[in-house]
Amino acid sequence: MHRSQDVDDAAQEAFLKAYKAEKTQEIRSPKSFLFQIAKNIALQELTKKSKMITDYIEDLSDSAQKQF
């Protein structure tokens, strides 16, 4: 995550998920739990951005083939 706003959004989402989870289960290691949630959020964002780049490249390739 390059933009500070993205980092802030991910941190807020992690805290909200941790808060929600705490309501239904006992969290034995809150720090580790929160870091795991944050890691998962970052990986989800990376996967989403990677897919967007792949789709963009495929679209470029398709339009280049149509021109020839």
Segment (H or E) for 64: helix 30-67
Domain count, the chain: 1
pLDDT at 16: 95
**Residue bearing tokens 């398709």:** 62
Residue-number span of the structural domain to which 27 is assigned? 4-67
Contact 66, 39 (CB under 8 A): no
Reference 33, options 7, 56, 14; nearest CA is: 14
- Residues of the chain with confidence (pLDDT) below 70: 1, 67-68
pTM of the entire predicted model: 0.71
pLDDT at 9: 92
Long-range CB contacts for residues 53-57, cutoff 8 Å, separation at least 24: none
